[in-house]
A and B are shown apart, each in its own frame.
Chain A
Amino acid sequence: MTSSHDTAEHPEKLRKVVIEPVSRVEGHGKVTILLDDQQRVHQVRLHIVEFRGFERFVQGRPYWEIPVMVQRLCGICPVSHHLAASKALDSVVGARALTATAECIRRLMHYGQILQSHALHFYHLASPDLLFGFDSPVAQRNIVGVLAAYPQIARQGILLRKYGQEVIRVTAGKRIHGTGAIPGGVNKPVTPAERDELLAPLDDIIAWAQAGVRLVAELHQKSPELYDEFASARSNLLSLVGRDGKLDLYDGVLRARDAEGQILFDGVECQDYGTQLHENVRSWSYMKFPFISSQGAETGWYKVGPLARMQNCDSVGTPLADAARDEWLARAPSRPVHGALSFHWARMIELLHAAEVIGRLLHDPALLGDALVTSGPRQPSCVGIIEAPRGTLIHHYEVNDEDLITMCNLIVSTTHNNRAMNEAIRDVARRYLDGNEPTEGLLNHIEVAIRAYDPCLSCATHALGKMPLWVEICDSAGTVVERLVRDGERL
């Protein structure tokens, strides 16, 4: 698996620029860039620098602990891991179909999660780049800066996230690392009072979600070339879709398209994911590199997440979000869309969709039922796949007769995007850095591309941390000649 700028021929003769850590994303990552004396870029890599080993230490644990343990891989999208594990373990307890109430409560939890995570990503993390500019002052480029300059936008973002977190609290027991889902169903009903509490602010939530979609559309229309072209990575697309071909973030079958939008495979059942997807390893990242096995590692890499889902499905299935998607696709200069900044537009359409689905589920009479758990003939091997906020999330376990986990394989959303993120930042490096002195503002362009994918690097490595960002410029003998700190200050 090599591409232009993946591996330099003579790295020892080049100087290295390091972006560390990538900020306003979740988890530990750094970027290294190798440049020659004319500032020409020879190698660009996104490194995931921590290792946790969850897949190993979960072996020997009783299966019923897993939904609660596994969500501690990620505090941004714990519900995704909680539900992917629960869905997998449903097969272990033989729950081929959940009760209508359990399915409704789990879906509500999941769409609450999509809403809060997308709001967090857009308003708290990514919006400063889009509202102030990629090379705006460091001191302003955060949620506090947005609160000062655009108080209404920031406030709506905070309240959208709060609403999603409240949906999770009602369904899972607490906002972060709840315990609502169990193998075979859920452990807690929703009361009429709780439902009414969530229904009360829903009109505002939908209005703010619509305002969010409009905001991204306006930003896009102000600089169409930038938004269409920036950090483009032409690739295959992968996601779950519902059995009817509509967007479904909780359950369905796997579908993949090539970079032209042609179907590569469709209707693949979750338990057969291994027939389509393989992974390989690079020396320079703890994050693995998955690919569509029929295409090979070289061309089989793909994107997941909102940009893939919005183009993979036949339709969204809720009226406001479908109209928003039509408008988005109608103005795309070519399709499929591969520019990284289009993730934001697709993501905000999904946020609106999540609000609509929450409204639908809150009005579903099944929500208030009391049949919460089911079971049947047991199975030893199980796969659960869900569309997490950042993309397809695969949990695969084997359980022995003593109820202990003997095998665990996780392919998390951000891992699927590993190669695509690397290609996106190589595109940015070629367009913006090549031949120029790497300034703080230029380096932030690299981070803007990574942020668009909304990576969750602690999920991806099953580990996490943070470091100051600095650029170290070494001469060809490897001696440090200059060190530039990320906020522009020279050491």
Chain B
Amino acid sequence: MAEQKQKVRVATVSLAGCFGCHMSFLDMDERLITLLDRIELDCSPLTDIKQCGDCDIGLVEGGLCNAENVHKLREFRARCKTLVAVGACAINGGLPAQRNHLDIRDCLQTVYLTGPGIERGFIPNDPELPLPLKQVHPIHDVVKVDYFLPGCPPSGEAIWQFLTQLLAGHTPQLGHALLRYD
């Protein structure tokens, strides 16, 4: 019986972020083709698999801005052996956390009631809309994180180096040039 090497299963999720970390993932360009030979993408905004299976590696973009984010993150953590916080928002809340020093009601009023050109404004309140959290949180406030990959976003090169070292069974060492916070 021919021995077939099992592909490493990788899932990605985007919480309260901007999708930039997912775009950096695609910035691996042609190396994506090499990578996709070695990994199997499970649930991800890039696939239509919506219910996460058991995965070896989970990449999380974005922080937590509403109750759904928290629920989703907990489910995701439970499915992924190794969880990586990718980018500024997952690691420390990032730009969305700029609202943390403001009152959420005040934010909602500015956007939906008093902005220019709004006719008959009110704050959306349908039960279909998840409730915003009072503050935006980094993901390690809620789950255990195995690796933090900084950057806004981390570059395609950084993600490539990180994943290829992890896939080779090493603890990733990115070095000075690839570890950056902008």
Residues of chain A having any CB pair with chain B under 8 Å: 20-21, 23-28, 30, 32, 45, 47, 49-53, 55-59, 69, 72-76, 78, 120, 124-125, 138-139, 141-144, 147, 155, 158-159, 161-162, 165, 174-177, 274, 277-286, 288, 293, 297, 396, 407, 409, 444, 458, 463-470, 485-487, 489
Contacts and interface: CB of A to CB of B under 8 A. Distances in A.
Given A72-B95, A468-B50, A174 B155 contact: yes
Nearest to A285: B124
B32 to A, nearest CB: 6
12 contacts: A30-B128, A50-B130, A72-B94, A75-B18, A75-B153, A76-B19, A138-B47, A175-B156, A279-B115, A285-B126, A463-B16, A467-B50
- Among A24, A28, A59, A158, the most chain B Cβ lie within 10 Å of the Cβ of A28
Contacts of A49: 66, 68, 128-130
B119 A465 contact: no
A383 to B, nearest CB: 10
Contact of A409 (B18, B45, B116, B155): B116
Given A52-B16, A158-B29, A279-B117, A138 B49 contact: yes
A234 to B, nearest CB: 23
Q: Which 8 A-B pairs have the closest CB atoms?
A: A75-B20, A469-B50, A53-B107, A284-B126, A468-B50, A486-B50, A56-B110, A72-B95
Given A49-B68, A281-B118, A286-B124, A464 B49 contact: no
Contacts of A78: 18, 20
Nearest to B43: A468
Interface string B1-39: 000000000000111111111111011011011001000
A278 B138 CA distance: 36
A53 B156 contact: no
Contact of A57 (B46, B99, B126): B99
Contacts of A69: 95, 98
Interface in B87-130: 94-96, 98-99, 102, 104, 106-108, 110-112, 115-126, 128-130
Contacts of B95: 69, 72-73
A176 B27 contact: yes
Contacts of B118: 278-281, 288
A458 B99 contact: no
A463 B96 contact: yes
Contacts of B121: 280-281
A470 B49 CA distance: 10
A487 B49 contact: yes
A457 to B, nearest CB: 9
Interface of B: 13-24, 26-27, 29-30, 32-33, 36, 41, 43, 45-52, 62, 65-66, 68-69, 72, 75, 94-96, 98-99, 102, 104, 106-108, 110-112, 115-126, 128-130, 132, 152-153, 155-156, 182
Contacts of B47: 23-24, 138, 141-142, 144
A23 B155 contact: no
A53 B99 contact: yes
A58 B48 CA distance: 35
B102 A283 contact: no
Given A24-B46, A120-B26, A174-B155, A285 B129 contact: yes
Contacts of A30: 128
Nearest to A45: B128
Nearest to A148: B36
A139 B41 CA distance: 10
A464 B14 contact: yes
A112 to B, nearest CB: 13
A73 B18 contact: yes
A234 B29 CA distance: 38
A75 B26 CA distance: 12
A483 to B, nearest CB: 10
A463 B19 CA distance: 10
